[in-house]
Structure 1
Amino acid sequence: MLKISHVNAFYGTSHIIHDLDLEIRKGETFCVLGRNGVGKTTLLRSLLGIGVRTTGSIEFQGHEIDRALTHDRARRGIGYVPQGREIVPGMSVLDNILLGCNARTDRKTDVPPLVWSLFPFLKDHLGRRGTNLSGGQQQQLAIARALATDPSLLILDEPTEGIQPNIVEDIERAIIALNRDHGLTIILVEQKIRFARTAAHRFAILEKGRVAAAGPTSELTHELVHRHMSL
């Protein structure tokens, strides 16, 4: 579904991602791991074309997208849940979700029923301001907004970071269900090894903007975690 070939990424003159190669298969959850500051978010922003200069090739569903604008990549079927959620202030829960519909090519402007089945809390609070929700509820809202784009690939940047424990489990279950029950391909940046092992089919560990280790999740050993992720 997604092929990343010899990709380098830069913020100004700072070289963050170095000659990266990855392939994401249709129908899998792929987990990107690594310490803070190794380039995980930069990699995701490179895939979306958000504020990063890149070289190399990014191919999505057979089409080169490395020169495409961000909204064009979204319309091709890439949904994104950013770190920090980025809920729009002053807008209701419903209006935040419907923002995602702007990326749809079928011009539908209704909320997918899947959103309500995964996050029933949101349906009961459509008129509330999104920024008045708790952190975990805002994360549910950010995922719902991404699902409203009708994506074939969903990219999530640390979706359980800073979330209250009682909602973390709901979000983890929702992510697993999106992949296992609904066939959505997922790229997941995550620090929780337990969740990575539960949710992902394959993984890559980044170190200094390069792939330090990769493979099926069954090969995500304690030794690898200790070597590349321990502080």
Structure 2
Amino acid sequence: MLKLNHLNAYYGTSHIIHDLDLEIREGEIFCLLGRNGVGKTTLLRSLIGITVNTTGRIEFEGRDISTLPTHARARLGLGYVPQGREIVPGLTVLENILLGCNARKDGRKSVPQLVWDTFPMLKDHLHRRGTNLSGGQQQQLAIARALATDPSVLLLDEPTEGIQPNVVEDIEKSITTLNRVHGLTIILIEQKIRFARSAAHRFAILEKGRVRVSGASNELTNDLIHRHMGL
């Protein structure tokens, strides 16, 4: 569904992603792992086309999207949930979700039922400012906004980071349900190894902007974690 060939990514003169090849299959959860600063977030931002200079080729459903602007990639079906959530200050929960509708291919401006099915608690806070929600509620709002774009691939950057423990489980269940029940392809950056093993079909561990090791989730051994992610 997504194929990267010889992808390089730069911030100014800083070379972050190095000649990376990767394939994401339709209907899977693919987990990106690695220590902080190895290029995981830069890789997602390269896929969606945000403030990163890239060379190489990014194919989405057989089409080269390497030179397309961010809004065009979103309209093709890439939904993005950034690290830190980036809820728009001053807008209500409903207004934040409706922002995602601007990227829909069909032009519809109504919130998809999938949003309410996935995060029913948001209905109780529609007219509250999004920034007044708790961290866990804001994360659910950020995912809901991405779902409102009607994506076929969802890019999630550490969706359980900094979330209160009682909400983490709800978010994890929502992610696996979106994949297992609704068939959404998901690329997930995650530091929680337990969740990575249980949710992902395949994984890749990055080091210095390169894929150091990859495989099926049942191959994500403690030895690999110690060697490539330990302090």
1:16 Cα offset (Å): 0.4
Please state whether the residue corresponding to 2:125 is helix, strand or coil. Answer: coil
Q: Which structure 2 residues correspond to residues 1-231 of structure 1 after superposition, within 5 A?
A: 1-231=1-231
Shift of 1:118: 1.3
- 105-114 vs 154-163, which moves further: 105-114
CA displacement, residues 123-147 of structure 1 (integer Å, 9 cap, x when unaligned): 1110000000000000000000000
Q: Give a deviation string over 1:18-68, Cα, whole Å, max 9, x none.
A: 000000000000000000000000000000110100000000001000100
**Cα distance in 1 between the residues matched to 2:194 and 2:74:** 30
With normalisation by structure 1, the TM-score equals 0.99
SS of residue in 2 equivalent to 1:73: helix
Instruction: Report the CA distance between 1:105 and its aligned residue.
Output: 1.4
Name the CA distance, whole Å, in 1 between partners of 2:144 and 2:160: 15
Q: Deviations over 1:185-217 (max 9, x none)?
A: 000000000000011000000000000100000
The alignment of Structure 1 onto Structure 2 pairs a total of residues equal to 231
Aligned-partner residue type, residue 172 of structure 1: E
* Gaps in structure 1 of 5+ consecutive residues: none
1:70 offset after TM fit, Å?
0.4
Q: Distance in 2 between matches of 1:112 and 1:43?
A: 28
Distance (whole Å) between structure 1 residues aligned to residue 26 and residue 8 of structure 2: 24
Gaps of 5+ in 2: none
Amino acid of the residue matched to residue 20 of structure 1? Answer: L
Name segments (4+ residues, structure 1) moved above 2 Å: none
Distance 1:97 1:35 in 2: 32
SS in 2 for 1:156: strand
Aligned residue identity for 1:182 = H
Classify the secondary structure of the residue corresponding to 2:149.
coil
Structure 2 counterpart SS, 1:103: coil
Cα distance in 2 between the residues matched to 1:81 and 1:100: 11
User: Identity over aligned residues, as a percent?
Assistant: 77
Residue type at the aligned position of 1:11: Y
C-alpha distance in 1, partners of 2:116/2:67? 35
Provide the C-alpha distance between the structure 2 equivalents of 1:171 and 1:99, rounded to a whole number of angstroms: 21
Corresponding residue SS for 2:102: helix
